[in-house]
Structure 1
Amino acid sequence: MKSIKYLFLLLIVAFSMTSCDDYLDVNENPNFPYETDVPPHVLLSPMQQQYALGIAFDGRFIGRYTQNWVDPGVGNVWDRHGYAAGSDAGGDVWRNHYWALGKNLDVMADTARRAGRNIYVGIAYALKALSWQTLTDGHGDVI
């Protein structure tokens, strides 16, 4: 009987703590660019660097598919046109397109449009088109 009382008391306390839904409204997310309005020229340099880095990193593995170089041994997954399961080797262009560039280019274009800096809107669209092209070149039809 005593344990039932404690269980009932615990349930009341648990349900009373979940009733506050305005608690998280006071917190600000410093990682969300819309709240801080990061200038477009600040966003552009890291995205250009990530784009170039993704191509360079994927080139280490895609070169094995195109037989630019081979491994000295036999049975390598890349020589058999496979992939290393559990590894992101060869997936940097994919990750950069959807994650590093993806919504960040939209944020840059929206911020630049609000600030009246149309050159950065054009740069964002051009970089997005280039990213789509690079992704399609490496992985085939993605849409």
Structure 2
Amino acid sequence: EFIAKGENDADIATVYESIALHRWEQSRTTQGQPYQIYYLNPTIETVSTAAIARRDVTSGMVDAARKFIDFLRQPEQQKLFVQYGFRPVDQSFDLQSVPNSPWSQNIPGVKMNPGVQTISTPNVEVLTEIKRLWERAN
């Protein structure tokens, strides 16, 4: 909301890196100035995954799903993901070599290698407690 509409009650927002990178230009345009990106340390990495269902699917569906996943992992598709602020599946992929890569646009605070500690996703009990506290406060 602060990207599109401007100042609000929040001074800071925690968002996925891809959103911050992809929407940066919009902020610069709508607000007349860019925002600063900060990497939390430690952080929790979110990895986009794909899976193929094993129940109630035909072998043709499984084959089509495998082909689609293989397609998404190809360099040309990975370049498209990079243009939208997603990190590629292949860690050796050069983020700055992609045309229109957010990592080559001098976005304040953006880092190809943030150098932060990555921790595991909290377990179900912790997530349940966070949700309970959030609901109680709101």
TM, length-normalised to structure 2: 0.29
Q: Say which structure, 1 or 2, has more relative contact order (CA 8 Å, 6+ apart).
A: 2
Structure with the higher fraction of residues in helix conformation: 1
